[in-house]
Amino acid sequence: MQLVAAVHKDLLLQWRGRAQAIAIFVFGATSLLLFSFAIGPNAEALRQHAAGFIWLALLLSSTLTLAESFQSEMEEHALEGLLLLPADARALYYGKALANWAQLTLLGVALVPLTVVLYDAPLPRAGGLLGIIMLGAAGLSGPGTLYAAMTSQTRAQQTLLPLLLFPLVVPVLLASVKATSLLILGDPMGQLRSWTILLVCFDAIHWSVCGLLFDRVVED
Ranked by mean pLDDT, which of 36-40, 44-48, 124-128, 195-199 comes out on top? 195-199
**Cβ distance 35 to 56 under 8 Å?**
yes
Q: Which of 19, 208, 191 minimizes the C-alpha distance to 97?
A: 208
pLDDT tier at 58, thresholds 50, 70, 90: very high
CA distance 144 to 151: 10
pLDDT on residue 64: 86
**Cβ distance 98 to 7 under 8 Å?**
yes
Q: What is the CA radius of gyration of the chain?
A: 18
Would you give the distance in Å from CA 113 to the centre of its chain? Answer: 18
Q: Which of 29, 149, 52, 49 minimizes the C-alpha distance to 100?
A: 149
What does the DSSP 8-state code read for residue 119?
A: T
pLDDT on residue 132: 93
Q: Which of 114, 129, 17 minimizes the C-alpha distance to 57?
A: 114
Ranked by mean pLDDT, which of 18-27, 168-177, 208-217 comes out on top? 168-177
Mean pLDDT, the chain, rounded, equals 83
pLDDT tier at 123, thresholds 50, 70, 90: confident
Q: Where are the domains of the chain?
A: 2-219
The count of residues in the chain is 220
The residue that leads in pLDDT, 215 or 64, is 64
CA distance 135 to 53: 17
Q: Give the mean pLDDT of 51-74.
A: 84
pLDDT on residue 79: 59
Which residues touch 47 (CB under 8 Å, ≥6 apart)? 119, 120, 121, 122, 184, 185
C-alpha torsion sign, points 24, 175, 189, 130: negative
The residue that leads in pLDDT, 215 or 49, is 49
What are residue 120's phi and psi, to 5 degrees? 50, 40
**Residue 117 to residues 121, 122, 209, Cα–Cα distance (Å):** 7, 9, 39
pLDDT at 141 over 90: yes
For the stretch 144-166, pLDDT in tens is: 988 888 887 777 777 888 888 89
pLDDT on residue 101: 92
Q: Give the mean pLDDT of 91-119.
A: 88
CA distance 187 to 74: 46
pLDDT on residue 29: 92
Lowest mean pLDDT among 56-65, 92-101, 102-111, 120-129: 120-129
**Cβ distance 99 to 69 under 8 Å?**
yes
